[in-house]
Amino acid sequence: MSEISKVIYDPVHGSIRVDGPFLTIMDRHEMQRLRGVKQLGLGSMVFPGANHTRFEHSLGTYHLAGRMADSVGAYDEDALAVRAAGLLHDICHTPFSHTMAEVVEAITGMDHMEAAGKLIKGEIRTRNKRDDDVFGDIPPISEVLEENGISSEKVCDLIMHPSSRDESMDAFSGGRKIAHFSSKDFIHQIIHGPVDADQMDYLVRDAHYTGVTHGKVDIDRLIGTMKVHNDRIVIEKGGTAAAEGLMVARSLMYSSVYFHRTVRIIKMMLMKSIEASSIDVGEIYLWDDSELMGRLIDEGGTPSRIARSVRNRVLYKKVITIFSEDASEDLLSDLSEFTAYRKRKQLEGEIADRAGVDISDVTVDIPPRSILLSNMNIGKTDVSILDPEGKVKSLARLSPVAKALQSRDTFGWSLLIASPEEQREAVLRASKKILNL
C-alpha cells in the first residue's frame, strides 16, 4: 500500500490524514462531485451558514470511522474496510442531499446506499457521458480497493447493511446469525449504529455551520470509552454522560434543523419541480446541486417556475399545521394511510382537484408512519452501556434523560400542508373537507 499521505485541515475535527488508496479515491471524480452537493440540501435557505457539503462530511466520517476502529481494536483488514466505507458511504447521494431521496427511490426502487454499492463495483455509470473524454478508461473504485488489499464486497456490505445479521430472523433462528461476513456486527455499527461515525460527524458539523448550539457532542470521550462486547459496540460506564449528550444533540438537531417546517416546505417545493419535469432521475446521482437546478430552470413551465421560486425564496405558505399534541388518535390513524410517497401524492391530487388548482400547488408533508403512530423511536437512542462488572444495560434503563428521549416527538407536528399564497384559501377548504378536519 502506498505511503503517500496528505493532511487536510477540517474546521470540525482539525487535521485529517488521508493516505494510501483513500487519497486516490478522495481525488476521483465520484468523490469530487460531492463538493457540489450541500450536506443540508436547501437548509441554507433558513440557516444561511449551512453551505457545507457531502464531501467534507464524508471526510469527517472517514476520520471518525478510523478512530473508532482503532479504539475497538479492529484488525487491519476490517479497519481499512470501515475507513473506506466511511469515505464512500454518501458517494451516490442525490443533489440537495435527502431532498430528492423519496422521488428517486419511488422511481428507481433504489436508495443511495444501494446505488453506492453498484457504483463502487462499476455496475452503473460513474460519470456523465459528456465527461467520457476527460476521464477515459478509469477502472471502478472496487479495483482500487482490491489492489490495496481491501475487500470491495466487504466495503459495499458495510455501506448497504446496518447489520451483518438479519435482526428479524433472530427470534425464529434461536439467535443464529445470518452473516454476510462472519458476524462482526461491531464493524457494521461503526457505520450504522447507536453511536456511529456518520451520526457523530453530521451532528457536530451541521451544528457548527447552522450556528445551532444543540449539536455539541463529546466525541473524544465517546470514542475513548468504546469497547466490543459480544460482537457489539458498547460504551463503558464512564462514557454514559457523553452518550446522553449525543442523544440530546440528535433529538434537538432533528427538531430544530432537520425537520424545521420551513425547510420541509422548501424541500417539498423542489420535489414538486422534479415531479412536474421531464427529467430522467435514473442518473441523477451523477449530478450536483447546480446542475439539477439549472436543468429544472431550463425546462421551462411549472418546473422552472417552482425552481426559480425556491432559488429566490418565494415560498409556499403554510395552509394547515397540526401539531402532535393537538392530533387525535383518529386523525393520526387516518393520516397514517398517507405516509407512503405514492399515497401522499394521491392525497395531494385529491386536494388539488377539489380546490381547483394544479397539483404542483399543493404539498402535503406527514412524518413516517412509525413516528406518527408512536413516538417511541428506540433505534439509535438505545445505546448499550457496559458496567464495571461486565453487565450490559440499555442507556434508557440507566438514564431518565435517554428514556425521555425515546418518547420525544422529533417532528413536533403531524401534518403540514402548504401552497402558494394565492391558492391558500381554496386549498385550506379542500384539505379540511377531504381530511374531515
Cβ neighbours of 71 (radius 10 Å): 17
Q: What is the pLDDT of residues 249-305, one digit of tens each?
A: 998 999 899 999 999 999 999 999 999 999 998 899 999 999 999 999 999 999 999
3-class DSSP assignment, residue 416:
strand
Write the CATH number for 419.
1.20.1250
What is the tally of structural domains in the chain?
2
Average pLDDT taken over every residue of the chain = 89
Do strands 232-236 and 384-386 pair parallel, antiparallel, or not at all (unpaired)?
A: parallel
What grid cell was written down for 245?
A: 449528550
Q: What is the pLDDT of residues 86-136, one digit of tens each?
A: 999 999 999 998 878 888 888 888 888 999 999 999 999 898 888 888 888
Q: Which runs of consecutive H residues, i.e. helices, occur in 257-392?
A: 261-276, 289-299, 301-311, 329-335, 341-355, 369-373
Mean pLDDT of 140-155: 96
| Separation in Å, CA 86 to CA 83, 295, 298, 310 | 5, 31, 36, 32
Q: What is the pLDDT of residues 305-338, one digit of tens each?
A: 999 999 999 999 999 999 988 888 889 999 999 9
Residue with cell 500500500: 1
Report if residue 164 sits inside a domain. Answer: yes
Question: 153 and 107 share a domain?
Answer: yes
pLDDT for res 374: 64
pLDDT for res 173: 30
Mean pLDDT of 350-377: 86
What are the DSSP E strand ranges found in 54-195? Answer: none
Report if residue 392 sits inside a domain. Answer: no
Burial class (CB in 10 A: 0-12, 13-18, 19+), 161: middle
pLDDT at 14 over 90: yes
Question: 118 and 222 share a domain?
Answer: yes
**Cα–chain center distance at 232:** 23
52: left (phi over 0), alpha (psi -120 to 50) or beta: beta
Residue with cell 447493511: 161
pLDDT for res 164: 57
> Is the distance from CB of 363 to CB of 351 less than 8 angstroms?
no
Q: What is the pLDDT of residues 207-253, one digit of tens each?
A: 999 999 887 899 999 999 999 999 999 999 999 999 999 999 998 99
Report if residue 393 sits inside a domain. Answer: no
Burial 366-390 (b: 16+ CB within 10 A, else e): bbeeebbeeeebeeebebbbbeeee
Q: Which domain holds residue 311?
A: 261-373+412-435
Q: Which pLDDT band, with edges at 50, 70 and 90, does 206 fall under?
A: very high
Question: 242 and 147 share a domain?
Answer: yes
What grid cell was written down for 251?
A: 433529538
pLDDT for res 321: 95
Question: 250 and 280 share a domain?
Answer: no
Task: Choose the final residue of a domain: 256, 289, 311.
Answer: 256
Q: What is the pLDDT of residues 157-185, one digit of tens each?
A: 999 987 654 443 332 233 333 333 345 78
Question: 173 and 308 share a domain?
Answer: no
Write the CATH number for 21.
1.10.3210.10
